[in-house]
Amino acid sequence: MKILNLKIVDLDNGIIQEISFNETGSNFIFGDVTKPNSKTETSNSIGKTLLLGFINYIYGADEDSEISKEAIENWKLIASIKYKDNVLQVQRIIGSSNFIINEETISLNEYRKKFQISRALYSKQIFLNDRSSLIPAYSKNPSKDDIEQFLSMICLDKFVNPVDGYYAAQNNIKKNKETKKQLLELNNWKERDIEARQFYLEKKIEELKRELATIDSEHSEAEIYNQKDYAVKEYSEKNEEVKQLLNSKQKLELENKRLSIYMKEAKALNDTAENIKKLYKKAKYELPERVIKTLEETEIFYKDSILDRKKLSAERIKENELFIKKYQKRILQLKRYLSNIDKVIQETDAFKEALIIYKSLNEELQDLMYEKGNLDNMMKLNENINESDTKLNMLHSDLIQLRKDYDEIIIKYREYLFELVNDLYSEKVQAFFDVKVRSKHQQTRPVQVDLKIDGDSGEGVGTVRKRLIDILIFRWGKKLDFLFHDSSCFTGVDSRQISKLLEILDNVSEETNKQYIVTLNRFQIDKNDTELLDIVDKRTIISLSEDKKLLGFDF
């Protein structure tokens, strides 16, 4: 998908701005502004980032409260887009998730489906701010989706299925180990004694069954039917029901304990963010906009994910408590019933002693069978862990082989990035790129992506690494034909490196027939770099300033 034209239309159908875009090559949204006097000031009020956000809306983004403000609510974004060699006009009303295509209204999900929009992938190519944890190469703890999407975007697709299976096996091992630990703690067992305990239980159960069979054989069928079958068998069945109810109640109590621990941890996460704000407020220290933004994103993430899960956990606890009360009530009923049966047995003169012994042995048998059930579950958990570990071995072998198969393409990427870094820096700076398969482990994730830059100790080196990864995907990726950068993506980078990066991106977009859109401030450009200035001059699609703001007013 490529955007060719965008009109911003107000409530009176007046065209506030109309911007035409270069289908291939660079598109500069230029900010003709000077550098802010302090780090707490920004130059965003003229509308550069807002325009990039409008374009992102056309690319199927969710509604954003930072954009859908009252001042422009119900304004229209009318765009011409190119999709599979067809040019279509699409319209989106700000504050609505609906689109209009050829006078037909469709939902956001239908729009994404129609144009095969994967927002998970698009977010890796649309940067409205300098996010730092989207690509595994510079994230300490990348998610499975991050890893898989990145590998897919640099044409290492065959890695995806083994990685997915590897994560699933690791997660299964983790889940079974946690359940196993809870069982050990709940029953006060030591793992090294489990097999021996299970063996001894089986022997004791066999012994009790023989004793019960002996008692049966000492009495006539009629006597057993009249006494034991009526009383003891009934007692045994009801007692077994009690055991099962106690087991179910115990599991629910264990789950509630685990959920309560999670809710405390979730609350601690929220408290941390709030405490940070309070500390700064108490110190009368004004937070930088970027820090506030990060805290806000953290809070949004907390609300969208952790709070939802916390709410579900609270509901689950409440539901469990209802079942616990229900089970407890039934247990009390059964115990009263068992007490009555016990009285009948005690009052029976004939076979009284045999029945009492039978009852006692049967109770002991049921207790042992209950414990054996828990031990069987423990052994089953061990089997599951071993099966998942075996699967890890197989998947690890697959990944090792795939790494060998992909060696040529990874070397190509390595050489490409090495040359880019040589071009970026005048001094001796080197880069090394690699996709590694770590040693097989039940917890450590299998694939590691590295991009080292040796020789640059400047504060902007981290940002340069991110942009190099963006260029790698932009140059060699086949899934998307665009890349958007906000000017904040170059914060902290020396103007000489900014110039080189932008020249490289311009060349890549031309060579690959892709579209590059970037917001840029005048103060970010080396004024002596005539080559870049010439590119910017030719490729600027709109120039904004304090006197020429995107919407004509502060937003």
Average pLDDT, the chain: 84
386 vs 337, more confident? 386
- The pLDDT, as a whole number, for residue 137 is 44
Of 37, 22, 10, residue with least CA distance to 482 = 22
68-102: string of b/e by CB count within 10 Å (b at 16+)?
beeebeebbbbbbbbeeeeebebbbbbebeebbbe
13, pLDDT greater than 90: yes
pLDDT band at 470 (very low <50, low <70, confident <90, very high): very high
DSSP state string for 385-431: HHHHHHHHHHHHHHHHHHHHHTHHHHHHHHHHHHHHHHHH-SS--EE
Of 59, 39, 31, 9, residue with least CA distance to 484 = 59
- The pLDDT, as a whole number, for residue 248 is 82
DSSP state string for 51-80: HHHHHHHHTTPPP-TTTS-GGGTT-EEEEE
* pLDDT tens track for 15-63: 999 999 999 999 999 998 876 654 444 455 799 999 999 999 999 999 8
- The pLDDT, as a whole number, for residue 59 is 95
* pLDDT tens track for 354-364: 667 777 888 88
Of 475, 476, 469, residue with least CA distance to 506 = 475
Query: Residue 302 and residue 308: Cα distance in Å, rounded?
Result: 8
- The pLDDT, as a whole number, for residue 332 is 86
- The pLDDT, as a whole number, for residue 250 is 82
Q: Count of alpha carbons within 13 Å of 353, Cβ hemisphere only?
A: 1
134, pLDDT greater than 50: no
412, pLDDT greater than 80: yes
445 vs 242, more confident? 445
285, pLDDT greater than 60: no
- The pLDDT, as a whole number, for residue 136 is 45
- The pLDDT, as a whole number, for residue 288 is 65
Under the phi-then-psi rule, with left for phi > 0, alpha for psi from -120 to 50, and beta for the rest, what region is 190?
beta
pLDDT band at 227 (very low <50, low <70, confident <90, very high): low
Q: Give 2-156+406-544's CATH code, choosing from 3.40.190.10, 3.90.180.10, 3.40.50.300, 2.60.40.1180.
A: 3.40.50.300
pLDDT band at 224 (very low <50, low <70, confident <90, very high): very low
534, pLDDT greater than 70: yes
Query: Residue 477 and residue 483: Cα distance in Å, rounded?
Result: 11
130, pLDDT greater than 80: no
Instruction: Enumerate the domain spans of the chain.
Output: 2-156+406-544, 229-333
445 vs 40, more confident? 445
CB 453 within 8 A of CB 493: no
- The pLDDT, as a whole number, for residue 274 is 66
Which amino acid is present at 156? L
Would the pTM of this model clear 0.75, i.e. be above it?
Answer: no
